[in-house]
Amino acid sequence: MSELQRMIQARNWMKTNENFLETWHAHVGYDLNLFDRFESPASVEDTASRFNLSSELLQRWVDVGVEVGHLKETGRGKFKANKKMIKYASKASSESVGILLSEMMELHIPTLLKYPELLESDERLTYLSEKFSEIVAETSTFLEKAAVSPILKWVKKEKPDAIIDLGCGYCGYLSSIHRKHPKTELIGVELSPEVVEKAREKVSSHIDIREGDIIDFLESYDGKADMIMAHNLLYYFKPEDRAGLFHRFARVLSKQGSVTIICPLVKAKHGAAFTAAFNTFMTAHSNLYPLPSPDSIKKDAKEAGFRVAGMKPLIREGGWYLITLKKKK
């Protein structure tokens, strides 16, 4: 009986892994623009020759694609990509989500596969922010689509004259704010030179993008802002340092100033599975830190002279929340 149960369990795991095959196949297709190569019916041999690819390995990728429904055989040894894959896994498509696959396959999964040796050695990896800065900046744009509307509502309500976006990436939030409120002074701070260069090419010259460290900026800034955006930021700071970060926010804010924070939260109502996995990824690195909880946000905010004005889910499945803080009167 035990051998039968073992076989059943093995089959169950094999079925579970079929979903991973789809993810792997889509990632390879996105990375090498393969779905575009098969937008019209094409043979493996011609495609491999034309784009200098291994014919044998491309055939194996095509075989998997047919089995998972990403490709179909059209006859005479030719294959064509599913329209959905061209739409969602092509670099040329404005609706592509392929960069999320890149982050998962190139960053998160390799880290999790190293977990056994990390558990035994109690060592940590070093997160290479320079290597992954552009991927992270790109994936952040997906979160912006869910968050930009409530951020604009907050700006409309608070009417800030000056806004600082810390870790601004490609300045998606600031660009949206500028379109609605062109007279608002906007400053973006970003550490990665490559991201800053691309951002300056994309956005209005009315947005002041500054390259540098967030803490250095906050300590040297001699103006007064009415709003600070700290999105996808807290897990770069040790839990014991976050109250100090909030104190720095308070120093550069006007009397009625506010802060918007976007972050996954542990011990919150939504997204427990995702935040548990995300926390695992963070803890595997020496320079990334555990996610905050609602209670720790409230505690650190209170210590720095803020009150929590709101804490609402943005993406429930991922445990992403928008937290708004107001300076206490």
Q: How far apart are CA 276 and CA 319, in angstroms?
A: 10
Helix (H, G, I), strand (E, B) or coil at 315: strand
For residue 9, what are its two tokens? 């369990």
**HEC assignment per residue over the chain:** CHHHHHHHHHHHHHHHHHHHHHHHHHHHHHHCCHHHHCCCCEEHHHHHHHCCCCHHHHHHHHHHHHHHCCEEEEECCEEEECHHHHHHCCCCCCCCCHHHHHHHHHHHHHHHHCHHHHHHHCCCECCCHHHHHHHHHHHHHHHHHHHHHHHHHHHHHHCCCEEEEECCCCCHHHHHHHHHCCCCEEEEEECCHHHHHHHHHHCCCCEEEEECCHHHHHHHCCCCEEEEEEECCHHHCCHHHHHHHHHHHHHHEEEEEEEEEEEECCCCCCCHHHHHHHHHHHHCECCCCCCCCHHHHHHHHHHCCEEEEEEEEEEHHHCEEEEEEEECC
Report, as an integer, the average pLDDT of 163-189.
95
pLDDT band at 328 (very low <50, low <70, confident <90, very high): confident
> Given this model, what pLDDT does residue 95 score?
86
> Given this model, what pLDDT does residue 1 score?
58
Per-residue pLDDT of 90-112, as tens digits, reads: 999 988 888 888 888 988 999 99
The average confidence (pLDDT) of the chain is 93
> Given this model, what pLDDT does residue 248 score?
97
Helix (H, G, I), strand (E, B) or coil at 213: coil
pLDDT band at 9 (very low <50, low <70, confident <90, very high): confident
Please give the torsion angle defined by the CA atoms of residues 261, 265, 269 and 273, in that order, rounded to the nearest 10 degrees.
Answer: 140
Residue 197's φ and ψ, nearest 5 degrees, are: -60, -45
pLDDT of residue 202 exceeding 90 = no
Q: How far apart are CA 41 and CA 24, in angstroms?
A: 22
Per-residue pLDDT of 107-157, as tens digits, reads: 899 999 999 999 999 999 998 877 777 878 777 877 888 899 999 999 999
Query: Letter for the amino acid at 236?
Result: Y
For residue 318, what are its two tokens? 């991922």
Q: pLDDT higher for 260 or 203? A: 260
Pairing of the two strands 185-190 and 162-166 = parallel
Report, as an integer, the average pLDDT of 228-249.
96
pLDDT of residue 10 exceeding 90 = no
pLDDT of residue 15 exceeding 80 = no
pLDDT band at 240 (very low <50, low <70, confident <90, very high): very high
Same CATH fold assignment for domains 2-90 and 129-327? no
pLDDT band at 303 (very low <50, low <70, confident <90, very high): very high
Query: Letter for the amino acid at 228?
Result: I
**Contact between residue 255 and residue 226 where contact means Cβ atoms under 8 Å apart:** no
pLDDT of residue 18 exceeding 90 = no
pLDDT of residue 168 exceeding 80 = yes
CATH class of segment(s) 129-327:
alpha beta
Hey, where are the domains in the chain? Answer: 2-90, 129-327
Which option is the CATH number for 2-90: 1.10.10.10, 3.30.470.20, 1.10.3720.10, 3.40.50.300? Answer: 1.10.10.10
Per-residue pLDDT of 33-80, as tens digits, reads: 999 999 999 999 999 999 999 999 999 999 999 999 999 999 999 999
Q: Which of 158-172, 190-204, 297-311 has the lowest mean pLDDT?
A: 190-204
Per-residue pLDDT of 21-31, as tens digits, reads: 999 999 999 99
Helix (H, G, I), strand (E, B) or coil at 185: strand
